A and B are shown apart, each in its own frame.
Chain A
Amino acid sequence: MGGGLDDKNGWMKTLGARIAEAEPGRVVVEIDAGPQHRQGAGVVQGGVITQIADAAMGMSLATMQEDRVWNTTIELKINFLRPAIEGRLRAVGRVVEIKQSLLFGEADVFDEQGRLIATASSTCMAVAEGEGRV
């Protein structure tokens, strides 16, 4: 978020991820899974799925924060429910609750057939502009 996507969100370019949908409290992050995302057993590597889930949660929370306040993940849990091999993977983030300094998010990740492949939850900490590294 903020600034040019290439400069500030280099990971999205690296992974080929994009923000597919965004509305208050809900952001969808997608990738088109291919060989570059797979591990040795031929399925999409868990960290890749975690990355889009984390982003979807963090961005969903950011949509409900004040201007010039972002958040950073301080804790995350994910369950991988079925393997993904290729096709569009969609991480749908949502807000569970927002407290003064802590924010709670959840995300479901679906494959191209609409099957649930992972569920995640995270706790994030609010970071005001100037408090972090940027």
Chain B
Amino acid sequence: MSETKAAPSRAWAWLGIELVETADGSATVQMVATEDMANASGFVHGGMIGALADSAMGRSLRTVKPGVVRAMSFDLKVTFVNAAKIGETLRAKGEVVHAGRRTMVAHCRVEGRGGRLIATASGTFAVTREKES
């Protein structure tokens, strides 16, 4: 557990997304799937998992140097491997794969209880970076 407790955005606060840890080039976030996140089949809606993965990847971009001033996802791909259950804590680890001057690419693994693979994701981000010092 680390850094600030306050969610960095309204979306994070609304979904209950919390930062677990960060390292150079990676960030882990988690969320407990609530009843309100269920799809018609009673499992966690894919869009919620996509939002969690996007959040982990977006946060991971902030750990590289020179720093990222602004980042916007312009491509997000999610592969749903196993269904996630309501009540399950979902943990997403985002990792920077490519840190360019204008674009960055990150990958993500979303795991459920016991490390069960729920989804993998990748995202491409348009970034503005600080000047190299």
Contacts and interface: CB of A to CB of B under 8 A. Distances in A.
A123 B124 CA distance: 19
Interface of B: 77, 79, 81-82, 97-98, 100, 105, 107, 117, 120, 122, 124
B97 A79 contact: yes
Q: Name the interface size band of chain A.
A: 10 to 19
A48 interface: no
Contacts of A112: none
- Secondary structure of the A contact surface, majority rule: strand
A121 B79 CA distance: 9
A96 interface: yes
A97 B117 contact: yes
Given A79-B98, A99-B81, A104-B81, A119 B107 contact: yes
Contacts of A97: 81-82, 117
B77 A96 contact: no
B102 to A, nearest CB: 12
B116 to A, nearest CB: 10
A68 B107 CA distance: 33
A-B pairs, 10 with minimum CB distance: A81-B98, A79-B105, A77-B77, A97-B81, A119-B97, A97-B117, A104-B79, A96-B120, A104-B81, A79-B124
